[in-house]
């Protein structure tokens, strides 16, 4: 474990153990707290509003606007409410002798909502015609104007602004006051819009308040009296309403999970109870024979097998059992052996996977995984390991020793390691880990670990509903319910986290921090090929946004991000360039790291319409532009070509700055190229300065959420050039 040494503490702590504790405290890394970007923007606006009041020493125009009759107008303009608390003072570049000025609440803002007007408040009555004529907005956008007293509201005709775009609204000197006085010079209001809303809300785990100061469990109760525990693993009914168990005296009993009387099914000699996957039957062994209780009929059938059965289970809804020499299932006329068991040592089968493909047995003190089709055995862990169950899909299993639990695949390979304890794997993919002192819940990959309670929780067994579980305490049977783990993040969410942390570190100029998110290939990419982790120089790096993101493979999990890096001079965005990042799940650590990076061409901004977002699905591609386009130029100017350069046949439509290409049948993983030709014109008649190309891949899998997502990544928090923390 690497622990950071702080020389300043040498003088304070002196003692070796104190220093070690200090370094240990320093080594804990704070995770990113949940942060609502809207809160950050809104607080900034409130502060600027307050600052303006302080600077002017008078009540804000905002307060006055809210007073009747201004309130009536505001009520009619819902968009105003979004920015009601903000005022950033903007002056024209006026001479000292001129008193014509204006201000806009969104000037200099970032993360500005897409659906709101640009408000420009003048300090005196203006001539509407000349003022509207003096307004220029870039990128080219069709707008409408409305006035309320001295405030001009500029609203995009389409109803919303383009995402991830810096708007520059210039009011030229042609604007005149009602008395004919000109603005002395042009002034520009700038703001950056927020990313588009993701298509589906991202699950956000909310912190859970404990049910009590020491426990997150509910409904904890004792079911059966103390009786010295059980002799076989207990079983839940399929509807999670009852619990079956075998007492140390060999009685098979059942008790309602909500509490109630215990009912005896078999008074003695029973072992190995197991519920059928359909939940309609219960098999168990009694006196060497297999008994099958059918719940609906209330009848019990006997299956006499030779040699005597030692364990019974279900595979694909059929009874399977173990004897001293092998695993068996019922054949047409007689039992058929599925796989032989070792003939030496003390062998006992512990479990057969529900798909009938694997079994786990103990030979003397060692645990083995048996592949039934090949009869090949693989030892699991060290001697004295214990088996705790299969994953819901049957493709992984859980076993443990004294030191830790292991999640293994069905080849016996270690997939992850968890803290030690007695465990159970739920249908919801949560692992419950009990012990003499506490109870934890964790995901199979070791994430989302949560301590549920202090106390004794022996041999926990999840109910099929994934919330109730049974356990033993002091030899008695108990049940309780555990809260669900937060939703497991999707690959795209995990990749987005990696991407965001990587880019935020770069934005702060923290190359070392950014490098944490690179694997060996990624580090190589950033040490050559013109790529640089720290982007320095002028114009300077002020923000980034995702142009497009896709899951391109699931073996291994692979995501591809095209990020736009924006360079700013003064307060104006003047250039950008793209990087294409490939994020891959590392086979060993399971982390998603940046494996490949390529650099795109630097592009000057303000040279015609630009692509600001691309959403790829198997059957369609949406291309969002920052400008309103001349619709007549769209069909021949925005095209998709395949890897051979041949144009893909499709239908192209245009509305609200978005070109939609439909009728596609993109092949998973195949290469395509989106081409925007210079013939494309915006509504002001400006052509795109040069051809724009964007490499795309066919989505990995059809119809899976998260494969193609509109850029949900928050853009860089602020256009402020420096984010360095002081310390």
Partner 1 sequence: MSDLLRDEEGDLVERAKQDPRQFGALYDRHFQQIYRFVYSRVREQTAAEDVTSEIFMKALKAMPRYQDTGRPFAAWLYQIAVNAIADRYRTLRPAQSIDDFHDLSVAGPALEDLAAHRDEIRRIWGLVEALPAQQKTALVLKFQEDMKIEDIAVAMGKTSGAVKLLIHRGVSRLRDEADALRPVE
The binding site for partner 1 (CB under 8 A) comprises: 1-2, 8-9, 11-13, 15, 17-18, 21-22, 24-36, 39-40, 43-44, 46-48, 50-52, 54-55, 88-89, 108, 207-210, 403-404, 416-417, 419, 435, 437-438, 446-447, 449-451, 589, 591, 717-718, 720, 722-727
Q: Which of 673, 665, 584, 688 is nearest to 618 (CA)?
A: 665
- Of the two residues 29 and 96, which places its CB atom closer to partner 1 in the complex? 29
Please state, in angstroms and as integers, the Cα–Cα distance from residue 112 to each residue in 62, 194, 376, 569, 623, following that order: 18, 5, 62, 20, 21
- Of the two residues 517 and 654, which places its CB atom closer to partner 1 in the complex? 517
Q: How far is the CB of 624 from partner 1 (least distance, A)?
A: 27
- Residue 377 pairs with which residues in a beta bridge? 370
Q: Contact 612/162 with Cβ under 8 angstroms? A: yes
- Of the two residues 323 and 714, which places its CB atom closer to partner 1 in the complex? 714
Q: How far is the CB of 496 from partner 1 (least distance, A)?
A: 17
- Of the two residues 222 and 414, which places its CB atom closer to partner 1 in the complex? 414
**Contacts made by residues 394-399, CB under 8 angstroms, sequence distance 24+:** 394/353, 394/354, 394/355, 394/357, 394/358, 396/444, 397/353, 397/358, 397/360, 397/369, 398/423, 398/425, 398/431, 398/444, 399/360, 399/367
- Residue 317 pairs with which residues in a beta bridge? none
Residue corresponding to tokens 């030229």: 172
Non-local CB neighbours of 621 within 8 Å, separated by 6+ positions: 614, 615, 640, 660, 661, 664, 674, 696
User: How far apart (Å, rounded) are the C-alpha atoms in residues 612 and 672?
Assistant: 18
Q: Specify the DSSP class assigned to residue 212.
A: B
Phi, psi of 73 (to 5 degrees): -65, -40
Q: Is the dihedral of CA 325, 327, 331, 335 positive or negative?
A: positive
Phi, psi of 640 (to 5 degrees): -115, 130
Q: How far is the CB of 9 from partner 1 (least distance, A)?
A: 8
Q: How far is the CB of 33 from partner 1 (least distance, A)?
A: 4
User: How far apart (Å, rounded) are the C-alpha atoms in residues 110 and 167?
Assistant: 10
- Of the two residues 509 and 606, which places its CB atom closer to partner 1 in the complex? 509
- Of the two residues 60 and 130, which places its CB atom closer to partner 1 in the complex? 60
- Of the two residues 519 and 628, which places its CB atom closer to partner 1 in the complex? 519
Q: How far is the CB of 717 from partner 1 (least distance, A)?
A: 7
Q: How far is the CB of 45 from partner 1 (least distance, A)?
A: 10
Q: Which of 622, 634, 576 is nearest to 601 (CA)?
A: 576
Non-local CB neighbours of 212 within 8 Å, separated by 6+ positions: none
Q: How far is the CB of 59 from partner 1 (least distance, A)?
A: 15
Phi, psi of 406 (to 5 degrees): -130, 130
User: How far apart (Å, rounded) are the C-alpha atoms in residues 59 and 257?
Assistant: 65
- Of the two residues 440 and 472, which places its CB atom closer to partner 1 in the complex? 440
Q: How far is the CB of 22 from partner 1 (least distance, A)?
A: 6
Q: Which of 553, 550, 575, 548 is nearest to 563 (CA)?
A: 548
Q: How far is the CB of 101 from partner 1 (least distance, A)?
A: 13
Residue corresponding to tokens 């299969």: 390
At CA 514, angle to CA 508 and CA 519, rounded to 5?
170
User: How far apart (Å, rounded) are the C-alpha atoms in residues 302 and 290?
Assistant: 6
- Of the two residues 51 and 149, which places its CB atom closer to partner 1 in the complex? 51
> What three-state secondary structure class fits 512?
helix
Tokens encoding 496: 């987005």
Please state, in angstroms and as integers, the Cα–Cα distance from residue 298 to each residue in 280, 287, 301, 317, 614, following that order: 10, 20, 10, 19, 61
Q: How far is the CB of 412 from partner 1 (least distance, A)?
A: 17
Q: Contact 435/422 with Cβ under 8 angstroms? A: yes
DSSP secondary structure, 34-75, as one string: P--HHHHHHHHHHHHHHHHHHHHTS--HHHHHHSTTHHHHHH
User: How far apart (Å, rounded) are the C-alpha atoms in residues 111 and 675?
Assistant: 28
Q: What Rg, from alpha-carbon coordinates, does the chain have?
A: 34
């Amino acid at each position: 474990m690497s622990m950071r040494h702080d020389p300043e503490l040498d003088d304070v702590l002196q003692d070796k153990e104190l220093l070690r504790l200090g370094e240990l405290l320093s080594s804990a890394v704070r995770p990113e707290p949940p942060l609502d970007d809207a809160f950050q923007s809104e607080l900034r606006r409130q502060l600027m509003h307050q600052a303006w009041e302080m600077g002017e020493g008078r009540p804000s125009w905002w307060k006055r606007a809210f007073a009747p009759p201004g309130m009536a107008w505001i009520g009619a303009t819902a968009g105003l409410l979004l920015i009601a608390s903000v005022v950033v003072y903007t002056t024209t570049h006026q001479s000292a002798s001129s008193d014509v000025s204006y201000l806009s609440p969104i000037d200099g803002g970032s993360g500005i909502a897409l659906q709101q007007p640009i408000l420009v408040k003048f300090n005196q009555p203006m001539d509407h015609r000349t003022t509207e004529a003096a307004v220029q907005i870039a990128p080219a956008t069709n707008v409408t104007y409305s006035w309320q007293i001295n405030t001009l509201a500029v609203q995009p005709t389409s109803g919303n602004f383009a995402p991830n775009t810096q708007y520059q609204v210039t009011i030229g000197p042609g604007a005149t006051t009602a008395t004919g006085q000109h603005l002395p010079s042009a002034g520009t209001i700038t703001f950056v819009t927020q990313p588009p809303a993701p298509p589906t809300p991202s699950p956000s785990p909310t912190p859970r308040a404990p049910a009590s100061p020491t426990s997150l469990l509910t409904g904890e109760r004792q079911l059966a009296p103390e009786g010295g525990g059980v002799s076989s693993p207990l079983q839940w009914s399929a509807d999670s309403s009852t619990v079956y168990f075998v007492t140390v005296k060999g009685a098979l009993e059942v008790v309602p999970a909500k509490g109630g009387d215990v009912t005896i099914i078999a008074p003695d000699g029973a072992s190995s109870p197991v519920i059928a996957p359909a939940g309609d039957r219960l098999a168990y062994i009694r006196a060497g024979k297999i008994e099958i209780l059918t719940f609906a009929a209330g009848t019990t059938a006997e299956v006499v097998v030779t040699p005597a059965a030692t364990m019974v289970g279900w595979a694909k809804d059929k009874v399977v059992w173990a004897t001293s020499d092998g695993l068996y299932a019922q054949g047409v006329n007689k039992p058929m052996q599925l796989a032989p068991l070792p003939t030496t040592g003390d062998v006992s089968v512990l479990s057969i996977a529900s798909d009938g493909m694997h079994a786990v047995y103990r030979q003397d003190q060692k645990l083995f995984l048996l592949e039934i089709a090949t009869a090949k055995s693989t030892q699991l862990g060290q001697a004295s390991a214990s088996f705790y169950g299969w994953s819901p899909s049957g493709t992984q299993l859980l076993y443990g020793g004294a030191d830790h639990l292991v999640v293994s695949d069905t080849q016996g390979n270690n997939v992850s390691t968890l803290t030690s304890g007695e465990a159970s794997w739920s249908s919801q993919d949560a692992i419950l880990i009990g012990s003499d002192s506490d109870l934890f819940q964790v995901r199979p990959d070791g994430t989302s670990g949560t301590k549920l309670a202090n106390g004794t929780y022996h041999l926990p067994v999840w109910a099929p509903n994934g919330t109730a579980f049974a356990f033993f305490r002091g030899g008695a049977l108990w049940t309780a319910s555990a809260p669900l783990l937060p939703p497991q993040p999707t690959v795209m969410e995990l990749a987005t986290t990696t991407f965001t942390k990587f880019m935020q570190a770069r934005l702060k100029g923290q190359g070392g921090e950014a490098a944490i998110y690179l694997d060996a290939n990624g580090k190589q990419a950033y040490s050559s090929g013109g790529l640089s982790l720290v982007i320095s120089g002028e114009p300077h790096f002020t923000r980034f946004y995702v142009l497009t993101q896709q899951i391109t493979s699931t073996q291994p999990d692979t995501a591809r991000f095209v990020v736009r890096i924006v360079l700013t001079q003064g307060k104006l965005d003047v250039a950008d360039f793209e990087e294409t990042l490939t994020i891959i799940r590392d086979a060993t650590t399971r982390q998603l790291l940046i494996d490949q990076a390529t650099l795109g061409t630097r592009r000057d901004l303000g040279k015609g319409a630009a692509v600001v977002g691309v959403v790829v699905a198997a059957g369609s591609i949406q291309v969002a532009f920052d400008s309103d386009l001349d619709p007549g130029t769209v069909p021949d100017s925005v095209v998709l070509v395949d890897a051979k350069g041949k144009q893909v046949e499709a239908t192209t439509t245009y509305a609200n700055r978005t070109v939609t290409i439909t009728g596609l049948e993109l092949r998973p993983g195949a290469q395509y190229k989106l081409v925007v030709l210079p013939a494309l014109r915006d509504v002001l008649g400006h052509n795109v300065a040069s051809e724009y190309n964007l490499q795309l891949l066919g989505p990995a899998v059809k119809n899976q959420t998260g494969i193609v997502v509109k850029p949900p990544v928050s853009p860089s928090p602020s256009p402020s050039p420096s984010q360095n923390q002081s310390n």
